């Protein structure tokens, strides 16, 4: 077991390489930004829909159906945004752990080779 610890201390980036699911976190961040933009547009569309109904430009049935679809789509986007944000958080935590391992390896220095 100590050999594995020593290996991890001498090569902390291996931790990031081994976790291929977290390598997609940068893409998740970009996706989250895109999804947030889409959510803002849908919220604006929702406001316009309310204005149209208030001004009598659309009927109640049409308003209700479109309102339900828009709210459902907003909820789907928010769920996906939370999921992508979780990926980004996990990736950031992994980077922090990797940096701490590098710091620990630097503090141990040459004694690390003799300990393993």
Count of the separate structural domains present in the chain: 1
Task: Specify if 15 maps to a domain.
Answer: no
Which residues contact residue 36 at a Cβ distance below 8 angstroms, ignoring those fewer than 6 apart?
A: 81
In tens, the pLDDT along 77-113 reads 999 888 887 777 777 788 788 788 778 777 776 665 5
Residue 10 belongs to some domain of the structure: no
The pLDDT value given to residue 78: 92
Query: Does residue 4 lie in a domain region?
Result: no
How large is the angle between the packed helices 2-10 and 60-108, nearest 10 degrees? 100
pLDDT at 22 over 60: no
- Is this prediction's pTM over 0.85? no
**Is residue 19 in some structural domain?**
no
Residue range 28-51: mean pLDDT, rounded: 90
For residue 114, name the pLDDT band (cuts at 50, 70, 90). low
Determine the pLDDT at residue 70.
96
Residue 34 lies in a domain: yes
Over 80: is that where the pLDDT of 45 sits? yes
Q: Which domain holds residue 59?
A: 26-115
89 part of a folded domain: yes
Instruction: Give domain status of residue 66, yes or no.
Output: yes
């Amino acid at each position: 077991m100590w050999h594995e610890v020593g290996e991890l201390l001498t090569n902390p980036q291996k931790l990031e390489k081994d976790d291929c699911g977290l390598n997609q976190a940068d893409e998740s961040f970009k996706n989250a930004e895109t999804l947030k933009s889409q959510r803002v547009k849908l919220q604006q569309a929702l406001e316009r829909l309310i204005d149209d109904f208030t001004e009598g430009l659309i009927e109640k049935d049409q308003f209700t159906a479109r309102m339900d679809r828009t709210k459902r789509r907003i909820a789907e986007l928010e769920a996906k945004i939370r999921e992508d944000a979780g990926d980004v958080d996990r990736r950031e935590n992994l980077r922090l752990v990797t940096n701490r391992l590098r710091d620990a390896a630097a503090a141990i220095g040459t004694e690390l080779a003799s300990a393993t």
